[in-house]
Structure formats: C-alpha cells, structure tokens
Structure 1
Amino acid sequence: MPKLIQVQEHELIPLEISLPVWQEGMRLPAQSEGLDRWFFRWQWGAAFPVNSSDEEYSGEGYYASYVIGAQWIDSTPLVITPKGGCDKIDYLKMLATCLNSGIESKELSKIYGVDLEQPRIEAPELNSVLSPLIIVHFISLVRKIIKRGLKKSYVSRESNLKKVRGRIAISQNEYYNVMRKRCERLYCKYQEYSADTPENRLIKKALLFSRQIIAQIAQENKSLHALHHAINQCISAFCDVSDQIEVWEIKSMKRHKLFRGYEEAVQIAQMILRWCDYSITSIRPAAESPCPVFWLDMSLLYEHYVLGLLREAYGEKIKYQAKGYTGYPDFICYDPKLVMDTKYIPRFQQGGIDIAIARQLAGYARDRKLFRLPASEVIPCIVIYPKEGEAQNPFKDKSLEELLAEDEDGHLLGFYRIAVPLPTLNEPETNLSPSFTYFSQDKRDS
C-alpha cells in the first residue's frame, strides 16, 4: 500500500511527480461557469499570498488550495484537511445555517463531490466531514419532495381476497385455496395506485440508513441531535411506504425526469446505500471506516454559511449572487447600498485589504447593472473573512449602518472588514431547530 500523504489547506504537498505529468495541478471535475477550483495547484514561488509582505510560503511546488478531501494521485493517496483539523469545525452547524438561508440542492451539489467508483482511502477523520454533508444534502432533497407530495404510481400487488380484484392467479389460487378447501377465497394479482413505489421505498431505506449513521456520530457531537430529529420527520412522511427493497432494485433503479426532485434524491439515496454496503447491520463506526474519494470546497461552504447568518439578521434585504456587468458579488443590499464579499483567507486579519480584492469590490460598487447611482456616490464595500474565536452571528442585533462604524481599512476609503469565525465543536451546545426556515434567493446563472 502506498504511503499516505496528509497535509492541511494551503500547505506544500511533497509530491514526487514531474511537472509535465500534472502541468498546473489537479482541477476539480464538473466546473461551472465562473468557477475555477483546484484540489492542488503548482505555484511559482509564494502560494496564496495574503499581501506583498507575506513570507510564510516560499519556493515553487504543488500547494493545497481551499479544498479539502481525499484523492488518488496516480497510486498515491492524498488527504487534505482544514487548518486546525477536522475535529474542531462543526460542519453540521455550518450546514444547518446554510439550510436556514434557503440554499438550493443544486448549490449544495457545487460545494462537494463524491466518487464511489475509486478505491477508498484510509482517512477516517474525514468521515466526520462527509457524512453530515451528504445526509444534509439528502434531507434537503427529501423535504422538497415531501412539500410537493410523494410520487404515486400503479404498483403490482398479490393478495388472497374474498372477491375478485384484477385477475385470478391460477397456480397460486390452486395452492393456497383449492388444495386447502378455502372456497371463499381467491388469490388475485392487481394494480394499486399507491405511494409505495420503488423510488419511495429506496428513499425511505436511505433515510433509515442516514438515521443509523447520525446516531453513531451523535455520540460525539450533540448538535447532530437536531439533524436526527429532522430525519425522523422525513421518515414519518413515508409512513405508508415500505422499506423492503432488494439490492438489484437499488442498482437498477431508473430515474424519472417527470417527477421533479426525484432524480437527484434517488442518486444520493443510491450513494448512501452503496456507501453502507446495502446493509444497516454492517454499518461501522465512522472512526473505523475508510473514506471515499471526495472533495469539499471550504470557500463555497463558508460563503453559504455567511449567507445564512446574513439572512438570519436581515432577511430578504440581502441579495445573493446578483448578476452584474463585472461579475457576481456574493451579497449586495439596496437599503442601505452595500457590497459584501466573503474571502476564505484565514490569515486575512494580519494585513490590509489586498489591492486585487479592493479592485474586485470597487468594480461591483460601480456596476450600473447592480446599482443606479450618481457618479459622486461611494458605495461601502465589506470584506468578510474567517478567524479563530467563538462562533457567533456578528450581524445579529446590528443594523447594516452600524456595520460601517467598525474596522475601516486605513488605506482605502469606504472599505471595511468583518470577521465571522467558523463554528467549532468545543463551543457550548446550541439548540439547532430542525424546522428550517426557507427564504427565496436570487438564482445564479453560472
């Protein structure tokens, strides 16, 4: 077995691979327009500098980016973990906050990717990241299905009845009734219009698997109890659906585009059942399970986490990913006029706002497609970044105008910085409501 390489975000990766093989690095699959993300990338000198005086990174080589996960590089397993370790970040709380913001399932699918076709990697610490992520994504899809109503279809049934329904099954009727002299009974085969379809049975089975996984993780993370309750709510909506389904049915399940939301839900359900080897009794604790090949974009997760905090404080006043001539600013507000952008740069607080970032936000603030304003008006720009500390909502109980009274950049007029710490598991337990509030949001075209 090749030796495992494990590094943290932004660190130099000791890969013994020549540049012509990988060229720039390892790009993430399924890139959307406007997104250019890498699992790792070649840097000619300083990697991911915060400002011109940053001397932490030096020398050329392959550096990890803002994406964590586990990947195979040729035959070498590579694991990238967040700064400070996976055991310190409360991913569930971040994901629950994302759901509060009304994040769509298609946006969640951009945050991460899983490949179950490749061999698994011995990185059990990453299961604490991946398990809640997939399950929260699955729950968001199931809740949409429940809201629209479960798919119903004609399902084949067999039963021993008192009167004919459908058609009489001759051989079964002879065995169960004629030979046993039960003349008042008829064994029939018939069609019944029911929600007990193969797709719904698959989804219910995956919900039961998810509950088993969460029950194991919840022993170490009490904040997962809210997710456990949300799963029970989803299971109760499938009370008239059986959970009996064969492995061959799971593998050969066809996706029907006629029913919106089912196609992706079936795909994620198949992923969960395959991950658990199709048997609830064979689920092993996360600490003992190898990790599938996957990636998680921490910058996008942080962006949606901040969106949830902003929506919690200001509701519909915050517009997400509005389309302008200069691009898609993360957040804008029209009353008062503000431009806000997240930068997942943990060392951001050590220096001033980088000139490239200032130019980007200044372009948004002068975009006539985003704002109708006189040439003399200066729109404030706020940079939001993570730092260590107790996670709280810095926007709650504050007006947007009050945000501009804090931490103005000393070199740039109208530029401000706000630190939003990542939630950690060693914080006091908070009650996460399983009844997530959904807000409408602007859809990003990319």
Structure 2
Amino acid sequence: MSKLIRSNHLETVCEHKQIDFACESVEVSDIFFQDNEKNERCIQVIYGKDSLALKMSYFIGADWLVKNQQAIYVAPKINKGTQEVDYLGMLQSCLTHGDIAKNTKDLYYIKLNEPFIEIDQQMDLLTPLLIIQFLQILKSLVKKGLKQSYYKVERNLNSRVKGKVLIAQNIKKNVVRNKVTNTFCSYEEFGFDGIENRVLKHTLSFVRRYLSQYPEYHGSMRCLIDHCTPAFERVSDEVNLHEIKAVKRNSFYKEYQETLKLSKIILKRFGYHISEIEHNNIEKISVPPFWIDMSKLFELYILGLLKDKYGDKILFQAKGSYGNPDYLLIDDVQPLIIDAKYRPTYQQDKNLSYIIDDIRQISGYARDVGILDKLGYHTVEEQSSKVVSCVVIYTDQDEGYKLPNSLTASKSIEGFTKFYKVPIAVPVLKKQNSF
C-alpha cells in the first residue's frame, strides 16, 4: 500500500483551505465528487509558473493525487483548523428522523475499486459513518418487520424425502455409513432465514464487534444494536462470500435496498472476514478513496433541527417551476423559504451582510409560481401581492447550537425586504476521539 503523503503541507489539510507547493514534474488534476465533472470539485488544482495550489471545497475524505504515489487527506476542521467538526454527531442527530435517511444517497462517495490508502486510525472518517447510517436504516427496517421469503435448505432427513435428493451427498453421508433410513435432500422453505436477512445479521455481527473496540461510540449506538438484534433471533448469520455478492435488488422490497448496499460496503471494507476487525485497533489502516459532502450533511442536519421545531410543516427540497429550495415552512401565519449555507464566509467577515449569489438564488425561489402554490398562494392575485419571507441559515461557531424561537426575529439583511440571516454553530469534538 502506498502511504499518505507526508511532505510539504499534505499531511492533513482542512476543508475550505488552499495549500501551495512546488511542482515536481507530476501532473495533478481536479477531483470531482462521484468522479463526475458535472458535480462540484472536491479539490481544484490551480497551476502557477513554478508551483501549484490545491484549493479545498466543503468535502472531507482521502483520495489519490497521483495513483499509488501521492494521496491527500482532507480533515473536517473549521475556524483555522482549531476545531474538528463532529460530523458523526451531526449525522446521528438528523437520522433520528426516519424519513431523512432516504435523502443520504449523495452524502458520500466511495471508490471501492481504487487502490486503498494507508491512513492513521484516528483519520478513519468512513467506517463510523457507514456504521451509523447502517444502524439507523436497519432500525427503520426492523420497525416495519423483516420480510419472509423462500430460501433453499439442504438437510439429512430421516424416514422421508422432500424436494430433490442430492445423490452425491446422500451416498457420502448415508449410503456408505449404512444409514438406510436417511435421505439427503434439497428443498425450499418459507420464513425469515432468507439470504437478505442473513446478510444483514452477518453485517450486524461485524458492527457489534467493531464498536466493542470503541466504548465512546459503542455507548451511544448500543441502543440501536439492542433494538435491532431481537428481530434476527430466527435468522442465521452464516453466509459465504458468493452469497453476499449474489444478493440482488428486489423491487418488491425497496426498503431493503439501501440497507443491503451498506452491508456490502461495510463487509468489503473489512475484506468480508470478521477476523479483520480484531486487527483494526492498530495505528495504521487502509481505506478506499472516499469523499463526504459536508454541505449535504449540514443541509440534513438543519433539516433535522427544523423538523424538531416545526414537525411536518417542513418540506424538504420541494419541486417548483424553477428550482428546489432547501426547505419550505408551510404555515398559515408566516410561511418561509429557508436555505442552508455551509460556508465560513459569513463568520470570517462579520461586516459581510450578504452574498449576492445567495440573495439571487433565494429570490428566484420566492418568485417561483410552483413554490408559492405549495406555500398556500394559489391564485394569481395572491402570488402577485405577497412577499414571502426568506431565511439564510449559515454556520458560525461563535453562535449557539439551537435555532431561535423565531427565524425572522434574527438579523434582517439590509437592502432587501423580508430577508433574514440565522447563524448556528455545528457540533465540534471536545477532544480527539480514538478513530
């Protein structure tokens, strides 16, 4: 395995930062989220005459700058790197709302087929995130009830025959041993012990073993494990590698798709062998290149806070004629269009009242006929006469961790009618954890 680069400024880089280093005849390209040039850049490469700069965005993770030679690790740090964002706490907070889990599809991207990168154990941002998401979605699945299905079993039956007689096994286990009343058969049963449930239980065993090494996280997730475990009492966790890879999507059980997808990623992360977890407490580990979208995570975190405050009155990414605002507050007295901005700019410049691109974007939503209709303004007269209040929620670590009682009681944005800013701090780690 090639190691994480430890020269120049590449040992640990913080999100939203830019670093410069001398060119060494190595060609480095921009890194796009999900390897799609239509998406945002995780890292932008800016070439100078004798040097180049790497500009970080709001993505954290690890990736190759030059495959198998130079890798980079971007840490979840803000405020000049003095505070590390508790991204796991943010994820746990928002996933307490079961309906938010379905919006985590584009939260992260893992390059499982790329060469793995060796990092320090405490830099492993990926595994805890996968485990938290797996447990939260599994909890929702268990609440609905495990599905039953037909599955094949092979058994040595006494004084009866069922299904198909397996000739070779029957000769080996019965005929040569003179067990004339036994017949080795293969047949189908209907119940909970199908391959999908066995893969989930097998993954749950991985998760339980992994978390047992980290008491600081095992405590907060133990309730999730205890909630899910009883549902699998009638399910075996015996499953082979071929069966895991052969599990396919079933359109009749869509709630299983995301859970099984996470199961496969977690199992592949440990090479499908639970014994690998025993060696996971060493200082160095290897992980696939990955990126976590902190802007998306902040968006989901704020969604959780808004749902805590307003419940079902909050619509997430409602589709209008022009675009999809982050949130709508459906309220007869004061409907709101709300947008979340994960950027340090507002905090870094206390004199900055607004960013004009933010105003333009949200103003467009406030004039969108489709959005106005969802807010309760159905007629042309209502849509023409009403000015909808707009709120920008942004990160500021000098502020509190809770939303104010009234979002429009916060600081208004000068020069614009019914525009408001609401600062909020994101959770940070009080001390370095053991990951």
The reply to whether TM is greater than 0.5 is yes
Pairing partner for 2:337 from 326, 339, 344: 339
Pairing partner for 1:39 from 42, 47, 56: 42
Tell me the amino acid that sits aligned with residue 139 of structure 1: L
Quote the residue 2:429 is aligned against. 425
**Distance change >3 Å, CA 119–CA 187, structure 1 → 2:** closer
Cα distance in 2 for residues equivalent to 1:316 and 1:106: 16
Tell me the amino acid that sits aligned with residue 393 of structure 1: K
Q: 1:241-320 to 2 correspondence within 5 Å?
A: 241-283=235-277, 284-285=280-281, 287-320=283-316
Pairing partner for 1:10 from 1, 12, 16: 16
Q: Is the 8 A contact 1:99 1:308 kept in 2?
A: yes
Which segments of 5 or more consecutive residues in structure 2 lack a partner in the other structure? none
Which segments of 5 or more consecutive residues in structure 1 lack a partner in the other structure? 46-58, 428-446
SS in 2 for 1:277: coil
Pairing partner for 2:95 from 95, 99, 110: 99
Cα distance in 1 for residues equivalent to 2:421 and 2:247: 50
1:130 CA drift (Å): 1.5
Cα distance in 2 for residues equivalent to 1:381 and 1:94: 24
Structure with the higher fraction of residues in strand conformation? 2
Quote the residue 1:407 is aligned against. 411
1:369 and 2:370 correspond: yes
Quote the residue 1:437 is aligned against. none
Q: 1:118-133 to 2 correspondence within 5 Å?
A: 118-124=114-120, 127-133=123-129
Cα distance in 1 for residues equivalent to 2:201 and 2:116: 26
Quote the residue 2:394 is aligned against. 385
**Distance change >3 Å, CA 173–CA 39, structure 1 → 2:** closer
Cα distance in 1 for residues equivalent to 2:100 and 2:177: 58
SS in 1 for 2:155: strand
1:172 CA drift (Å): 5.1
Pairing partner for 1:324 from 320, 323, 330: 320
**Distance change >3 Å, CA 17–CA 257, structure 1 → 2:** farther
Cα distance in 1 for residues equivalent to 2:82 and 2:102: 25
Quote the residue 1:444 is aligned against. none
1:228 CA drift (Å): 2.7
1:73 and 2:73 correspond: no
Tell me the amino acid that sits aligned with residue 69 of structure 1: G
Moved more, 181-190 or 373-382: 181-190
Q: 1:117-266 to 2 correspondence within 5 Å?
A: 117-124=113-120, 127-146=123-142, 147=144, 149-167=146-164, 185-217=182-214, 219-221=215-217, 224-266=218-260
Tell me the amino acid that sits aligned with residue 37 of structure 1: E
Cα distance in 2 for residues equivalent to 1:333 and 1:374: 17
TM-score when scaled to structure 1? 0.79
Q: Is the 8 A contact 1:151 1:259 kept in 2?
A: no
Q: Is the 8 A contact 2:269 2:287 kept in 1?
A: no
Cα distance in 2 for residues equivalent to 1:180 and 1:20: 69
Cα distance in 2 for residues equivalent to 1:134 and 1:64: 23
Cα distance in 2 for residues equivalent to 1:87 and 1:160: 64
1:383 CA drift (Å): 1.0
1:62 and 2:54 correspond: yes
1:41 CA drift (Å): 1.8
Cα distance in 2 for residues equivalent to 1:417 and 1:44: 36
**Distance change >3 Å, CA 264–CA 376, structure 1 → 2:** closer
Cα distance in 1 for residues equivalent to 2:40 and 2:111: 17
SS in 1 for 2:291: strand
Q: Is the 8 A contact 1:318 1:332 kept in 2?
A: yes
Q: Is the 8 A contact 1:318 1:333 kept in 2?
A: yes
Cα distance in 2 for residues equivalent to 1:304 and 1:333: 15
Tell me the amino acid that sits aligned with residue 415 of structure 1: F
Moved more, 70-79 or 14-23: 14-23
Q: Is the 8 A contact 2:340 2:392 kept in 1?
A: yes
SS in 2 for 1:123: strand
TM-score when scaled to structure 2? 0.81
Q: Is the 8 A contact 1:387 1:419 kept in 2?
A: yes
1:20 CA drift (Å): 12
Cα distance in 2 for residues equivalent to 1:92 and 1:294: 16
How many percent identity over aligned positions? 32
What is the total number of aligned residue pairs between the two structures? 403
Q: Is the 8 A contact 2:121 2:284 kept in 1?
A: no
Cα distance in 2 for residues equivalent to 1:235 and 1:369: 45
Cα distance in 2 for residues equivalent to 1:78 and 1:285: 22
Cα distance in 2 for residues equivalent to 1:286 and 1:186: 49
1:155 CA drift (Å): 1.5
Q: Is the 8 A contact 2:151 2:195 kept in 1?
A: no
Quote the residue 1:439 is aligned against. none
1:425 CA drift (Å): 3.1
Cα distance in 2 for residues equivalent to 1:16 and 1:151: 60
Moved more, 172-181 or 283-292: 172-181
